[in-house]
Amino acid sequence: MLEFSRVGAEVGATTATLQKTRTLGAYFRALDSDDDLRLAAIFMSGRAFGPAKRQTLGLGWRQINKTVTTLSGRTEEELGEIWRKHSDLGDWAGEALEGRTEGKDVSLEALAATLEEIRAARGSAKAAPLEKLLNRIDAKAARFVVKVISGEMRIGLSEGLVEAAVAEAFEVPITQVKRVHLITGDIGETAVRCRHRQFETTTVTLFQPVRFMLASPVETAQEALERMGTAKVWTEEKYDGVRCQLHHAGDRVELFSRDLKETTAAFPELTEAALGLDHEVLFDGEVLAHRDGKVLRFFELQHRLGRKVVDGALRKEVPVALVIFDLLSLDGRALLDEPLQERRRLLESLEVRHPFLLARVEEASTAGDLDRIFADTRERGNEGLMVKDPLSPYTPGRRGLAWLKLKRPLATLDVAVTAVEWGHGKRKGVLSDYTFAVLDTGSGRLVNVGKAYSGLTDAEIATMTRKFLDLTVEDLGHVRIVKPVVVLEVAFDSIQHSGRHKSGYALRFPRIVGIRHDKPVEEIDTLERVAALYDRYFGEKAEIPLSEVAET
Catalytic residues, by residue number, are 238
136 close to 101: Cβ distance less than 8 angstroms = yes
Q: How far apart are CA 134 and CA 124, in angstroms?
A: 17
356 is a site residue for ligand AMP (CB under 6 A): no
Q: What would the x/- binding string for ligand AMP be over residues 192 to 231, using CB under 6 A?
A: -----------------------x----------------
Pairing of strands 233-237, 384-388: antiparallel
468 close to 479: Cβ distance less than 8 angstroms = no
Q: How far is the CB of 299 from ligand AMP (least distance, A)?
A: 17
179 is a site residue for ligand AMP (CB under 6 A): no
Nearer Cβ to ligand AMP, position 14 or 494? 494
3-state secondary structure of 547: coil
25 close to 171: Cβ distance less than 8 angstroms = no
For residue 263, what are the contacts with CB-CB under 8 A and spacing of at least 6?
244, 255, 256, 257
**Options 36, 91, 236, 414; binder of ligand AMP; rule CB under 6 A:** 236
**Options 359, 370, 404, 533; binder of ligand AMP; rule CB under 6 A:** 359
**Options 126, 290, 405, 541; binder of ligand AMP; rule CB under 6 A:** 405
Nearer Cβ to ligand AMP, position 27 or 374? 374
Nearer Cβ to ligand AMP, position 244 or 446? 244
Please give the span between the terminal C-alpha atoms of the chain, in angstroms, as a whole number: 59
Q: How far is the CB of 244 from ligand AMP (least distance, A)?
A: 8
357 is a site residue for ligand AMP (CB under 6 A): no
Q: How far is the CB of 238 from ligand AMP (least distance, A)?
A: 4
> By CB under 6 A, which span of 147-155, 159-167, 236-244, 426-434 interacts with ligand AMP?
236-244
Q: How far is the CB of 377 from ligand AMP (least distance, A)?
A: 11
Report CA torsion sign: 197, 199, 200, 204.
Answer: positive
Q: What would the x/- binding string for ligand AMP be over residues 438 to 467, using CB under 6 A?
A: ------------------------------
Nearer Cβ to ligand AMP, position 238 or 290? 238
| CA angle in degrees (0–180, nearest 5) for 526-530-535 | 140
The Cα-based distances of 365 to 284, 362, 371, 393 in angstroms read 25, 10, 11, 20
Nearer Cβ to ligand AMP, position 95 or 237? 237
414 is a site residue for ligand AMP (CB under 6 A): no
**Options 178, 179, 238, 541; binder of ligand AMP; rule CB under 6 A:** 238
Q: How far apart are CA 110 and CA 136, in angstroms?
A: 11
CA dihedral of 372, 377, 378, 382, whole degrees rounded to 10: -160
492 is a site residue for ligand AMP (CB under 6 A): no
471 close to 514: Cβ distance less than 8 angstroms = no
Q: How far is the CB of 86 from ligand AMP (least distance, A)?
A: 40
301 is a site residue for ligand AMP (CB under 6 A): no
Report the 3 state secondary structure along 427-472: HCCCEEEEEEEEEECCCCEEEEEEEECCCCCHHHHHHHHHHHHHHE
**Options 6, 22, 243, 497; binder of ligand AMP; rule CB under 6 A:** 243
Nearer Cβ to ligand AMP, position 286 or 414? 286
267 close to 255: Cβ distance less than 8 angstroms = yes
**Do you find a cis peptide bond into 355, omega within 30 degrees of 0?**
yes
The Cα-based distances of 44 to 21, 131, 423, 481, 516 in angstroms read 12, 22, 35, 48, 53
Nearer Cβ to ligand AMP, position 91 or 237? 237
> By CB under 6 A, which span of 20-28, 146-154, 232-240, 390-398 interacts with ligand AMP?
232-240
Nearer Cβ to ligand AMP, position 28 or 403? 403
> By CB under 6 A, which span of 55-63, 77-85, 235-243, 422-430 interacts with ligand AMP?
235-243
Nearer Cβ to ligand AMP, position 142 or 322? 322
Q: Which helix (H) or strand (E) holds 358?
A: strand 356-358
Segment 270 to 289, residues that bind ligand AMP, using CB under 6 A: 286
249 is a site residue for ligand AMP (CB under 6 A): no
Q: How far apart are CA 244 and CA 357, in angstroms?
A: 13
43 is a site residue for ligand AMP (CB under 6 A): no
364 is a site residue for ligand AMP (CB under 6 A): no
The Cα-based distances of 451 to 48, 419, 433, 434, 531 in angstroms read 38, 9, 7, 5, 18
Q: How far apart are CA 174 and CA 508, in angstroms?
A: 38
Segment 385 to 404, residues that bind ligand AMP, using CB under 6 A: 386
Interface contacts to ligand AMP, rule CB under 6 A? 215, 236-239, 243, 258, 286, 325, 359, 386, 405
